[in-house]
Amino acid sequence: MSTVTAYAATSAAEPLTKTTIARREVGPHDVALDIHFAGICHSDIHTIRGEWGEVRYPMVPGHEIAGIVTAVGADVTKYKPGDRVGVGCFVDSCRECPACLAGEEQYCSNPGMVGTYNGVGRDGEPTQGGYSAAIVVDENYVLRIPDSVALDAAAPLLCAGITLYSPLRHWNAGPDKKIAVVGLGGLGHMGVKLAKAMGAEVTVLSQSLKKMEDGLRLGADEYYATSDPDTFSKLAGKFDLILNTVSANLDLSAYLGLLALDGTLVELGMPEHPMPVPPAALIFGRRSLSGSLIGGIAETQEMLEFCAEHDVAPEIEVIEPDYVNEAYGRVLASDVRYRFVIDTASLR
């Protein structure tokens, strides 16, 4: 066992504080890595605040991890010390259920993927995430970061990147598709870049026009404010696919009205409370409402290669670990441009 420095939440209401946590011995199939960068995802905040259920405090968040391998177990074949690697939202799964066998470990049903934090590992110990100096992970749940992707920019790809890449692929984003991205935050800005790189026509639907210049620079063809009721009449029936990345409740019925015949609205944001859906909003236009959860290991690796090939990277603000509580306040105020990434050097 080793002891590493980390930032942990001790309750739903207290600020995160510096502490130490234990990491397990490097087992035969394990990879140990020094964490260099960890992204801040809105899910970290939902989780800490107990909005998604029970939390095992003290809890170290962080599931957008980029670092360098320091040691590998005797049976590890995929990685060696010095390799540039990433870890995303889960660190294990049953490996036997239909989802795991299909390489969609995020949908493991037996009983579910082991979250990078606030989960329980095979050893029965709580999992602790990336706001820390180092981590030990089974090699099958580690990603290779392509040489041309900087480590700090790689971190947000491990959650925000794959969470948008997977539905874009699943719903066949391409030149013949009109796609709307709702919410221009960490997830949303990756959605704009990835959909554009796949050749789709992309529209941003943001609360206001404050970030319009950024949205267009990131690759959006059009940009509308959802605070303007005209937006919903102007764009009625336009989109094949709407990706909702908003972390709060929206009037889904209004957004479903923006779908073309047979269009799909995909829920990616996961606010705490239910959102009512009037049946007529689905029936007229044979519209679908779906959801999508991150992506499997193979698809995450594919996404990293895609980003390297198409020069797609997040826009990040690199921060020191002791800025994390302030950063949370800015995320909650939709004042993030467009992902905070913690430089963990001072924790090592």
Q: Which partner in ligand NAP, Zn ion, none is near 97 (CB below 5 to 8 A by kind)? A: Zn ion
Cβ of residue 79: shortest distance to ligand NAP, in angstroms?
A: 25
Decide whether 247 or 300 has the Cβ nearer to ligand NAP. 247
Q: What are phi and psi of 75, to 5 degrees?
A: -100, 5
- Is 246 a binder of Zn ion (CB under 5 A)? no
Nearer CB in complex with ligand NAP: 196/211: 211
**152/233 Cα distance (integer angstroms):** 41
**DSSP code string of 10-27:** -SSSSPPEEEEEEE----
Q: CB 94 → Zn ion: shortest distance, Å?
A: 3
Q: Which of 167, 148, 130, 183 is nearest to 338 (CA)?
A: 183
Binding-site partner at residue 46 among ligand NAP, Zn ion, none, CB < 5 to 8 Å by type: ligand NAP
- Residues at the contact surface with ligand NAP, assessed by CB under 6 A: 41-43, 46, 159, 163, 183-188, 206-207, 211, 245-248, 268-271, 292-294, 331, 334, 336
> What does DSSP assign to residue 237?
T
- Which of 21, 31, 55, 100 binds Zn ion (CB under 5 A)? It is 100
Of residues 65 and 72, the one with the C-beta less far from Zn ion = 65
Question: Which CB atom, from 187 or from 235, has the smaller least distance to Zn ion?
Answer: 187
Q: How far is the CB of 59 from ligand NAP (least distance, A)?
A: 15
Tell me which of Zn ion, ligand NAP, none is bound by residue 110, counting a contact when its beta carbon lies within the kind-specific cut-off of 5 to 8 angstroms: Zn ion
- The residue among 72 and 269 lying less far from ligand NAP, judged by its C-beta, is 269
x-marked contacts with Zn ion along 133-162 as a string, rule CB under 5 A: --------------------------x---
Helix or strand holding residue 87 (H, E): strand 84-87
Q: What is the pairing mode between strands 30-39 and 17-23?
A: unpaired
As given in the structure block, the two tokens for residue 59 are 């809890």
Q: Is the peptide bond before 58 cis (omega within 30 degrees of 0)?
A: yes
- 98 burial (CB, 10 Å; 0-12 / 13-18 / 19+) is exposed
Beta-strand relationship, 316-319 and 339-343: parallel
Q: Is the dihedral of CA 269, 142, 301, 316 positive or negative?
A: positive
- Residue whose CB is less far from Zn ion, 94 or 250: 94
Give me the least distance between CB of 271 and ligand NAP, in Å please: 6
Radius of gyration of the chain (CA): 20
Distance of closest approach, residue 183 Cβ to ligand NAP, in angstroms: 3
Tokens 């609205």, located at residue: 265
Binding site for Zn ion (CB under 5 A): 41, 43, 93-94, 97, 100, 108, 110, 159
